[in-house]
Amino acid sequence: MREQIHEDFRSSPYTALAIDESTDITSEAQLLVYGKFARGCRIVEELLCCLTLHSTTGHDISSAVDTFFTENQFDWGRVVECCIDGAPSMMGRNFGFRGILQRKFPHIHIKHCIIHREALASKEL
């Protein structure tokens, strides 16, 4: 099933990513990478991977995702958008995942996830 999802992601002309870092119950950092892509006439969203991180810096997140892309022969040229949360390690312009990704692949649009914004707004209410 995983290989079929990866093959569909590879063969889609355009793709998008949603990336979120979290800590599990053992205090280990986990990185979830979701892909949105065309499967036939439909647009689908699937979990591409869950990676364990040694640290949560922008460089480590970028390196982990880039290694995953290389190992699975995914093409960064097909990624048109990446949705991330507002954590400094993700959104930082210089050392965050966003800044690193935009320097390497300026064609990718980076968005702050609406679900994370909604969660932040609801805390205030």
Dump pLDDT digits (tens) for 25-47: 888 899 999 999 999 899 999 99
pLDDT computed for residue 19 by the predictor: 93
Q: Whole-model pTM?
A: 0.85
Find the CATH number of the domain harbouring 46: 3.30.420
**What is the count of structural domains for the chain?**
1
The pLDDT tens digits for 45-60 are 999 999 999 888 899 9
Spell out the residues 6+ positions from residue 101 whose beta carbon is closer than 8 angstroms to its own.
62, 82, 108, 110
Which residues constitute the domain of residue 78? 2-124
